Chains A and B, each alone.
Chain A
Amino acid sequence: MKLTSRSGRHSSRIELQMTSMIDVVFLLLIFFMVTASFAKTERELDPAIRVEKAAATKSRTQLEPAIVEIVGGPGRFAYKLGGREFNSPAELTAVLRQFENKSDGAFVRVPDDAPFDMAAAALQACMDAKFLAVSYVPLSEEN
């Protein structure tokens, strides 16, 4: 049964105008790709945690492991290693590299009022100096 004649069909098809949509989609795509590449990448420092009494850690200095302490007061903090103080992490790293007992690990003692930026820099310096284990030692007032 023939319902419609061939001549009755529309010969012209409806066409969508895709150009503007593709423009917008590409614009969004490029925006997300560019912002994703500009986002700063996060990495991690992976220290162990050691909680020690302040008095106990002092007695350990007889063994002379690498103990980095952040010392000073508001506005002027420094890294202390043994009897020497360093203002830049680069100097600290250079001295830490000269330690021979890398397998003994390094300890970073961080008092409460020390800037966290410096604590992270001290951990990084120990890791850059190739110490096998680096420990974060909080020096809280209540300890």
Chain B
Amino acid sequence: MRLSKRPSSGLQMNMTPMIDVTFLLLIFFMTVSQVSAVNKEKLPLPQQQGSQDQSEAPITININEQGDIIVSGNRLTLPQLLAEVASELGKVNDDASRLTIALRAHREGNSRTVNQVVSALEKLEIHRVRIAVENSAP
């Protein structure tokens, strides 16, 4: 028994702009997640509220639990790090107040390497450093 006739012409949505936007968002998220991970090692940071939001820094110094200094994925010795910092200082006409340095250190590690780095930076007239912390609160 034939009850009804199906409509032959259905309403069709134009999917092209939606797919364009979706791909754009997808590529944006993929790119952003990769770029932000270049300078940052996977380290458990001290869990604190912090005093300010994180901003971009030309040099991000990572210190792992063993006390290794890692900058942009490369393990550096303290003199190598200082050479790197001096090179960045040169880019800002040796004005240390214009150079931002972020320090990311493993929360389980001791402070030996951090102290060495901080003391060395102070000798380069850098009197401020940004210590990264992990904010688990929403």
Contacts and interface: CB of A to CB of B under 8 A. Distances in A.
Contact of A46 (B107, B110, B128): B128
Interface residues of B, number: 49
Contacts of A50: 122
B66 interface: no
Interface size class, chain A: 35 or more
A110 B102 CA distance: 18
Contact of A117 (B25, B53, B102, B108): B108
Given A22-B19, A113-B110, A114-B110, A47 B26 contact: no
B25 A113 contact: no
B118 A121 contact: no
A22 to B, nearest CB: 7
Interface in B22-55: 22-23, 25-26, 29-30, 33, 45-55
Given A25-B26, A115-B108, A47 B129 contact: yes
B111 A44 contact: no
Given A29-B26, A44-B50, A116-B109, A140 B116 contact: yes
A90 interface: no
Nearest to A33: B29
A15 to B, nearest CB: 9
A138 B114 contact: yes
B134 A45 contact: no
B50 A119 contact: no
A143 B111 CA distance: 14
Interface stretch (A4-12, A34-42, A79-87): A34-42
Given A43-B49, A44-B52, A120-B107, A29 B22 contact: yes
Nearest to B50: A43
A34 B111 CA distance: 35
A116 B114 contact: yes
Given A18-B19, A124-B133, A138 B115 contact: yes
A120 B130 CA distance: 11
Contacts of A138: 111, 114-116, 118-119
* Most chain B CB inside 10 Å of its own CB: which residue of A29, A123, A138: A138
6 contacts: A29-B29, A40-B136, A43-B50, A44-B53, A45-B51, A140-B115
Interface of A: 18, 21-22, 25-26, 28-29, 32-33, 35-36, 40-51, 110-117, 119-121, 123-124, 127-128, 136, 138-140, 143
